[in-house]
A and B are shown apart, each in its own frame.
Chain A
């Protein structure tokens, strides 16, 4: 399966959201995504994988296979989990450099930027940083191996 570029996936999400004409539809879709995201095995829900927000918690695990980074995540709040699910859809399975370059403009485009604001304190912003940190770490590792 050839990997769709990050920007293309973002574009699809933006197009999906353009179809919703009420906030209810939008949030019902996100809640649905949250519910459908497979729960993370309890063994992964450890302090090391925890991204603590002020209110809700996100757990994030990463794996590196064949030059690509794969993410799995979970949250105790379902709307955050829905947003987490979208981030995974966009970023998981890509090369470290692609992940590092991703601007993730779709979040603004679909009107979910407020959820990244400091005030929401839900760990989502920290999650994006952590995803990029993983990408950077794997990139560095790759560089060392290639030497």
Chain B
């Protein structure tokens, strides 16, 4: 980064914003201020165009036809696998399995690796800040296998206690499944350190990368995680497509998940042999269009550069934090030393939902509620929070609009 960065970043910002058609919408006659990016990000024009180009020009089923359309579609679909491989630093493209999203990725691991390796008395370790989709699949598995689900506690700052974490690890621990970035608090967890500690007791580690993939540089080989799951729709790609990464030797030894077409080599009524990785886990006609558009989105991010995006988002985080803290009665939930550009907060005596409704009337989209982390909300003794989460296209001016909206809402509600 150079000294002229502050100038060039401003210029870039306008250029970036102009690529997101939805940002010129108005809500209740006011310009949309979209601060719900942790729920899903908006899509750039190039991603939208990729979808219509696919359906308008080369829609075909993949991996089976010999005609031109099928070949073009197959090539485009498989190109995404290489881009995704690079995006998270996987060793090979076979380790990239397309899923519907983080939730399906986690469930795939629970229903295949989990069923094979978890037995009575084994322990699965998750954290107190997990999204429901990284709680419920393990709960189901533990019930089925009489295994034990253990939880790493969350500190008042919204961090995981590494001391307690290490004390919970033992030879009984078979799996640690943790979120890299909390969707409710913004906390960046020290997953590398956690993975090393887990491996030391022989446990496997799944990293929920739903929130981290868009903000942080991901290198699954450096992390040495065994599984990594993320969702396309949070990285500027369409909904309905995600990636599950798994170490090759693990994926190869795991049982199959869904049975059907694509995932087989040969089928007879007596016996079926299964396809190689990654197709073994991609039964049926996949989500071709959205997979192709995932590549466009990942390229879009890489062309701008994660470092540039991160710098801008960190500025937004710092600015929003200072501005919000100046509001009387407002308390930020989640004060971890390392955070992504997301601020969760509550206001004394006011229900988060009331704030959300009034902000919506001002054209400001925030998320209110428990953010699918009910146990975490219980830990903090609150029904939910208001959450403002920022993406590459958000501006300081939008934060000013949020702050003004907060003052107005609090005044109306007090």
Question: Are the chains A and B members of one assembly?
Answer: yes
| A residues apposed to B, CB below 8 Å | 23-24, 27-28, 31, 54-57, 76-80, 115, 121-122
Interface pair A56/B351, CB less than 8 Å apart: yes
Q: B353 touching A23 by the CB < 8 A rule?
A: no
Alpha-carbon distance between A109 and B88 when the two chains are bound, in angstroms: 52
Q: How far is A122 from B352 in the complex, measured between Cα atoms in Å?
A: 12
How far apart are A86's CB and chain B's nearest CB, in angstroms?
Answer: 15
> Is B353 within 8 A of A56, CB to CB?
yes
**Could you tell me if B369 and A54 are in contact, using CB atoms closer than 8 angstroms?**
yes
Q: Can you show 25 pairs from A to B with CB atoms below 8 A apart?
A: A27-B357, A27-B358, A27-B361, A27-B412, A28-B412, A31-B354, A31-B412, A31-B413, A54-B370, A55-B352, A55-B353, A55-B368, A55-B370, A55-B383, A55-B384, A56-B351, A56-B353, A76-B383, A77-B353, A77-B354, A78-B413, A79-B354, A79-B358, A80-B353, A122-B353
The bracket for how many chain B residues form the interface is 10 to 19
A130-B352 Cα distance, complex, nearest whole Å: 25
The residues of A that contact B383 with a CB separation of less than 8 Å are 55-57, 76
Q: How far is the CB of A87 from chain B (nearest CB, A)?
A: 17
Q: A77-B353, A78-B413 are in contact. List 6 more A-B contacts (CB 8 A).
A: A54-B370, A56-B353, A76-B351, A78-B350, A78-B354, A122-B353
Q: Which of B164-200 contact A (CB under 8 A)?
A: none
Please name all residues of chain A whose beta carbon is closer than 8 Å to the beta carbon of B369 when the two chains form the complex.
54-55, 121
How far does the alpha carbon of A24 sit from the alpha carbon of B413 in the complex, in Å?
11
Contact at B361–A78, with CB atoms within 8 Å?
Answer: no
User: In the complex, A55→B369 CA distance in Å?
Assistant: 5
B interface vs A, CB < 8 Å?
Answer: 28, 350-354, 357-358, 361, 368-370, 383-384, 412-413
* Residues on the B chain within 8 Å of A78, using CB: 350-351, 354, 413
Partner of B351, one of A28, A77, A115: A77
Interchain CA distance A138-B350 in the complex, whole Å: 36
Cross-chain contact A23 with B28 (CB below 8 angstroms): yes
Within 8 Å CB of A115, what residues of B? Answer: 357
Sort A-B residue pairs by CB-CB distance and give the 7 closest, nearest first. A77-B351, A55-B369, A55-B353, A77-B353, A56-B353, A23-B361, A79-B354
**Chain B residues closer than 8 Å to A77, beta-carbon distance:** 351, 353-354
Of B351, B358, B412, which is in contact with the most chain A CB atoms at under 10 Å from its CB? Answer: B351
B351 touches A24 (CB 8 A): no
Return chain A residues, CB-CB under 8 Å to B354.
31, 77-79
| Contact assessment for B412 and A24 in the assembled complex, using a CB-CB cutoff below 8 Å | yes
A80 to B369 alpha-carbon distance, docked (Å): 14
C-alpha gap A93/B16 in the complex (Å)? 58
Residues of B within 8 A of A57 (CB): 383
Closest-by-CB residue of B relative to A82 is B354
- A76 vs B383: C-alpha distance when bound (angstroms): 9
Residues of A within 8 A of B28 (CB): 23
